[in-house]
Structure 1
Amino acid sequence: MDVSIVIPLYNESESLIELNEWINKSLISSGFSYEIIYIDDGSDDQSWNIIEKIAEENNNVKGISFSRNFGKSQALRVGFYESKGEYVATLDADLQDSPEEIPIMIDKLIKNNLDMISGWKKKRHDSYFFKKIPSLFFNMVARAFSGIKLHDFNCGVKVYKKEVIKSINLYADMHRFIPILAKNEGFDKIEEHIVKHQPRKYGKSKFGNERFIRGFLDITTLWFTNKFGRRPMHFFGLIGTIMIFVGTIFSIY
């Protein structure tokens, strides 16, 4: 098996048949053997019924259904575990990202001997104030903390060598920081690829501004773990020293 395409989703029943046809059209012409893994993250629409129908008609399609909504990180984690391909691609199910990018990104990954490639939605079809500006700021902070030169850490289109996704531990909402988690495991050959972003065709975004707040908290956690993970008492020792110093000054006065 050359490629596993992992697709986490929540309430995307309207797009699934069209998405599956688009993936097949894009991958068959590439010459890669592939599987598609849909992870239904507790949808309450007809998503799972449609996935079952697609899987019956396509022997390279596998569906996994969660009993409730666990979040994108858990969906990806299960999809990564089930994947059998030498290369693993991720794709959102909302038709805003093109599966045609996947073979191109795999070829680039192989040619440049990379560990992973992240998509970059350079021209986004999103709300300027509610998504573009927060995303710009979020990615700027992520670059500063990690030292990884990516413009779009949270892009749904990514391609990995299988060793990368088998080595990282996804939890909470850490799917946003897979490039950072990969780098922490020694997989630091990371590049980006500009991908075409489509306007949303069906439904509405499940994205909320509170996710940016959680994202910044997660970045802080990652920074703390990276800097003090092996020597956490150094951090608390520093804080204690500062408090003793401040207390001494106050006692003198």
Structure 2
Amino acid sequence: MEYRLTIVVPVYNEEDNLLRVESEFNAYFKTAKAKSKVLFVNDGSKDTSLDIIKDICARSTDFEYIAFTENCGLSAAIKAGFDHADTELVGYIDSDLQTAPDDFNILIEEIGPYDLVTGVRADRQDSFVKNMSSKIANGIRRSFTHDGMDDTGCPLKIIKTDYAQRIPMFKGLHRFLPAMILLQEGKVKQVPVRHFPRVAGEAKFGVWNRLLGPLMDCFAYLWMKKKYINYKVGNSSRG
């Protein structure tokens, strides 16, 4: 049975979480509504993350990896994962597992007529400051993009791969995935998913880059929207 979904898992210094990632995905694979595999993208980790990833991939063909030579950031890791996917669908989840692999089954049920389905973190298990900064950042982004999304920072998404691979590379793209699908005249939907507190490792984003980063990225998005080229091929000699 061929894989239908590649799930991109960006990794930067997450050695304390990776064996749990392996365990939870092995459990998910048994109930997955679409044949799935994991693609780790090691973003220049300075701890033992890459060694652990190699061991996980050696234990099962349901896990693959690519590794950057240096740290390039979350957006680069996500985009590289999308570009390396060879399945009909591509997903994304963070390696801290504050969202659950099992909830990909919720997104799979909705993807049919849509080109992106994203989670919305219900009963979010973060600090007051983190929650408020994210709400403010989402409000700023919505005022620029008009994408109708309540929680683009939710690290649980499924996208049709041909749409994902047409997203241009830019820093901050992880905040604009629904907007970039809409630029391609695609359809997007959001559905509630579970959220959990981080149990190991350290968060990679603070209040400052949750607020200032999205504001700066919004201006980059507006420039890109003005310059964006969208086309559809009607036919060709290739059939």
Task: Indicate whether the TM-score tops 0.5.
Answer: yes
Task: Tell me the equivalent position of 1:101.
Answer: 103
Distance, in Å, in 2 between the alignment partners of 1:173 and 1:104 is: 26
The aligned residue for residue 62 of structure 2 is: 60
Gaps in structure 1 of 5+ consecutive residues: 231-253
Corresponding residue number in structure 2 for 1:239: none
Number of equivalenced pairs:
225
Q: Distance in 2 between matches of 1:89 and 1:24?
A: 16
Q: C-alpha separation between the residues in 1 aligned to 2:67 and 2:227?
A: 35
Structure 1 residues 139-150: aligned runs within 5 Å: 139-150=138-149
Report if aligned partners of 1:2, 1:34 keep a CA contact under 8 Å in 2.
Answer: yes
**Looking at CA atoms only, which structure, 1 or 2, has the larger radius of gyration?**
1
Return the offset for 1:170: 2.3
Q: Secondary structure at the match of 1:100?
A: helix
Relative to total residues, which structure has the larger helix share, 1 or 2?
1
CA contact (8 A) 2:140 2:214 kept: no
Query: Structure 2: which 5+ residue stretches go unaligned?
Result: 229-239
Instruction: Find the counterpart in structure 2 of residue 83 from structure 1.
Output: 85
What do the CA deviations read for 1:22-73 (whole angstroms, capped 9, x no partner)?
A: 1121132125222210011111111000000001000121111112110011
3-state DSSP of counterpart to 1:125: coil
Contact 2:33 2:105 in 1 (8 A): no
Q: Kindly provide the amino acid, as one letter, of the partner of residue 116 in structure 2.
A: M
Q: Which amino acid aligns with 2:201?
A: G
Which AA in structure 2 matches 1:176? R
Q: Note the 1:19-38 alignment, pairs <5 A.
A: 19-38=21-40
- Please list the CA deviations of residues 50-106 of structure 1 after superposition, one character each: whole Å capped at 9, or x if unmatched: 000001000121111112110011111111111112111100000211001102201
Report if aligned partners of 1:71, 1:173 keep a CA contact under 8 Å in 2. no
Over 3 Å off, 4+ runs: none
Percent identity between the two aligned chains? 28
TM-score, length-scaled by structure 1: 0.85
Contact 2:33 2:108 in 1 (8 A): no
RMSD of the alignment, in Å?
Answer: 1.4
Q: Is 2:116–2:159's contact at 8 Å kept on the other side of the alignment?
A: yes
2:42 is aligned, of 40, 43, 62, to 40
1:217-236 matches, cutoff 5 A: 217-226=216-225, 228-229=226-227
Q: Is the 8 A contact 1:87 1:106 kept in 2?
A: no
Give the structure 2 partner of residue 117 of structure 1. 117
Deviations 1:142-190 (A, max 9, x none): 2222221111011110011112112111222222111111111221x11
